[in-house]
Amino acid sequence: MDLSLTGRTALITGGSLGLGRAMAEAFHGAGARVAVLARREGPLGEAVDAIAAAGAPDGAAVRGYVCDVTDAARVEAVHAQIEADLGPVDILVNNAGHAAAKPFESITDAEWQADLDLKLFAAIRLTRAVWQGMRERRWGRVINLLNVYAKTPGPNTAPTSVSRAAGMALTKVLAGEGAPDNVLVNALLIGFIKSDQIRRQYEASDGSVDFDTFVARAGARLPMGRMGEAEEVANLALFLASDAGSYVTGCAINMDGGLSKVP
Ligand SMILES: NC(=O)c1ccc[n+]([C@@H]2O[C@H](COP(=O)([O-])OP(=O)(O)OC[C@H]3O[C@@H](n4cnc5c(N)ncnc54)[C@H](OP(=O)(O)O)[C@@H]3O)[C@@H](O)[C@H]2O)c1
């Protein structure tokens, strides 16, 4: 099975921590030139240094770009810089996001807008930036990180359920438009995966147990009896990004250890 990404350029939003970082490591390890985007310079620099230190086939580059993906002008400028530095983007991973779920009546217009800006419009703008080039070169991959609520929204899961369902619809629309030109678009519906997001949830908890116990207790409530690892997400993303995933498009894949009630 050919999982090599040698000669490809990948752009990963939110690639400094958690799932994004694991995907950046995996893609670079498979030979891709990798552009990592995040807002904070500290974690971004740390991630890029560690990824570079691990090395890559053919010495592929990895670069960090400070960018808030909700800032349309900055996204445009950073995309142009990435193309100048690393070449046209072949693989886009729309991953930047955060947990946001409250009772409906407590969500303000500003919170709705902020969630849609981060989880939907950022993906729309970045995809638009790379789309035509991918189609012209007749090779492209777009992977959208969503969550299980995209298919199974429940009470108190807005605004994120709504933004993620829109992301799933966008995935399907784009898959149809990109298929004739070999541009494949898929979504990963995440359940509970160990990441910095989970660490922040721990830090907001009562602190009565240590982090490992917190993770183990939350994991015990899941069908597989544990939370997923970021590397397990990266393995699936690498498959989809590579030539091994050449006939998979328009899918919203549950990456949740069996949590979702629907396939
Ligand atoms: N982990 C889970 O169990 C889980 C569950 C469901 C869905 N997800 C989704 O999976 C994705 C990755 O989650 P994660 O757990 O790896 O999160 P994480 O550990 O909190 O990492 C989030 C990454 O996104 C970056 N980021 C956040 N807002 C950004 C913005 N406006 N512009 C650019 N970068 C931004 C962060 O860096 P800066 O803060 O420096 O910008 C960081 O690199 C997210 O979309 C999340 O909603 C995760």
Q: Is the CB of 41 under 6 A from ligand 1?
A: no
Kindly report the backbone phi and psi dihedral angles of residue 145, in degrees, each rounded to the nearest multiple of 5, phi listed first.
-85, 120
Q: 78-106: per-residue pLDDT in tens?
A: 999 999 999 999 999 999 999 999 999 99
Q: Is the CB of 12 under 6 A from ligand 1?
A: no
- Residue 16 Cα to ligand 1 middle (Å): 9
Give me the mean pLDDT over the 156-173 stretch. Answer: 98
Residue 200: pLDDT band (50, 70, 90) is very high
Angle of CA points 37, 43, 44, to nearest 5°: 30
Rounded (5°) CA angle 167-114-238: 40
Q: Could you tell me if residue 202 is inside a domain? A: no
pLDDT digits (tens, 9 = 90+) for 16-37: 999 999 999 999 999 999 999 9
- Residue 159 — very low, low, confident or very high, per pLDDT cuts 50/70/90? very high
Residue 43 CA: nearest ligand 1 atom is: 40
Q: Is residue 200 part of a domain?
A: no
Residue 174 sits in a domain whose CATH number is 3.40.50.720
DSSP class of residue 145 equals E
Give residue 21's domain range.
9-192+230-250
Strands (E) located in the chain: 9-13, 33-38, 62-66, 91-94, 101-102, 140-147, 158-159, 183-190, 252-255
Number of domains making up the chain: 1
Token pair 């994991």: residue: 219
Q: Is 20 in the pocket of ligand 1 (CB under 6 A)?
A: yes
Query: How high is the pLDDT of residue 110?
Result: 98
Q: Is residue 213 in a domain?
A: no
